[in-house]
Structure 1
């Protein structure tokens, strides 16, 4: 099985790589402007091979890098079976407190649209595209169960929330939200072009709201991310449920 993992920064990529294969020597492949880190074999039907990519911050960077990786794999005749947007992020209390892990059931573009006197209008309401991507339900449930994780929507934003007022507005608009991050929707858009299923996994390092860096738990969140990918590997190598439903 061939897996593409897209993070924002190298520390997240390395945490995921350690979870997938802690003993693997680093193997690198080049893309325009990026380097993929590869773990595993993946040439036979059983083994898991993962290509991990630190794409940069934000949905545009994530979409560009993920699209390049997906296209390169397709041109090699080795398309990915699953794409995973991953990293640390903010959590919406009480759905996902600091220390929790969130596995997305939907990846939502929370600030892509237009303002209006009646409030925010999502991009799909405007008729210009979709505002959310659904994640494979059986696979997502199996991964969340293996991780002891929360299954909830993950919001993609271009501007990270920094006030209580904005956090409340997002929670009202998306009461099922578990986490906020900045790359998932970009990865999902690129994956959709290639008809590739997509998941998002976020380890919660801080609460969505006022930015209090002293309260952030980045080291703990990266450790949780590593453990998440260890569990993800186990689920995928068992081969059930398939990641295509």
Structure 2
């Protein structure tokens, strides 16, 4: 089984890379064999532009059996504990469009893209989880992807009212778009590092989220190796 594991930064998945180096066979830079699984790791970069470029280049010459994106994320749900792991079921492009006076209009509002035009389902990039050999038993979530991390009440209210999101990241939609376009079964794993609120980094729990993320990544590839 050939698996792509991608993340925005090395920081987010360094413990997972250490695990592969210790328990697997290194084939070449960021390519490993763990049992019957061949695992390619792509550090795609921060944001949708970097992620789309990196995955486009990778998928041009590779077609893995499964793609797995790992990362930390903010959450709009204050009843969810930081460090919680979730799988993202659908993603919205939450800041791509136009401003019309004091209103935001997305690509569908201004008719540059039509609802359910491939690879969208309605106006979302939806993971049906079809074709996956394994999906962890984690809560599913709705994500918004943004180029500018939300830190004002006005922006947060707009996102909540329009998309009712659970999480916010900077790369999820690009990952969903690339996998849906290429017909590759995929899974986006996120762990919650902070609440989406007026910016206060003293309340963020990045080490906790990174630890939880890497535990889930290791558990997932070990399970896949046993299938």
Common fold by TM > 0.5: yes
**Which stretch of structure 1 is more off in the superposition, 20-29 or 122-131?**
20-29
TM-aligned CA deviation for residue 96 of structure 1: 3.6
Q: TM-score, length-normalised on structure 2?
A: 0.83
Q: State the secondary structure of the residue aligned to 1:210.
A: coil
TM-score computed with the length of structure 1 as normaliser:
0.78
Measured in 2, the distance between the counterparts of 1:108 and 1:181 equals: 10
Measured against aligned partners, the alpha-carbon deviations of 1:97-117 in whole angstroms (never above 9, x if no partner) come to 322112111122111222335
* Residue of structure 2 in register with 1:34 after alignment: none
Q: CA offset at residue 235 of structure 1?
A: 4.2
Cross-structure match for 1:61: 50
- CA 123–84 in structure 1, closer or farther in 2 if over 3 Å, else same: farther
Does 2:2 correspond to 1:2? yes
In structure 2, stretches of 5+ residues that fail to align are: 114-119
Paired residue for 1:199, among 171, 183, 187? 187
Question: CA contact under 8 A between 1:107 and 1:184: conserved in structure 2?
Answer: yes
Q: Which residues of structure 1 form unaligned runs of 5+?
A: 30-36, 74-78, 240-245
| Count of residue correspondences | 218
C-alpha distance in 1 between matches for 2:48 and 2:79 = 24
Supply the RMSD in Å over aligned alpha carbons. Answer: 2.6
* DSSP 3-state at the match of 1:72: coil
Q: Partners of 2:19 and 2:160 in 1: how far apart?
A: 31
In structure 1, the partner of 2:100 is: 116
Q: CA deviation at 1:136?
A: 3.0
Q: How far did residue 125 of structure 1 move? A: 3.6
Q: Structure 1 CA distance, aligned partners of 2:136 and 2:69?
A: 15
| Equivalent of 1:38 in 26, 31, 56 | 31
Q: Residues 76-128 of structure 1: CA distance to partner in whole angstroms, max 9, x if unpaired?
A: xxx21222222111111236432211211112211122233583332234333
Could you say if the C-alpha distance between residues 200 and 183 of structure 1 is closer, same or farther in structure 2, counting changes exceeding 3 Å?
same
Deviation of residue 27 (structure 1)? 4.4
CA distance, structure 1, for counterparts of residue 105 and residue 4 of structure 2: 32
Counterpart of 2:128 (choices 125, 136, 158) is: 136
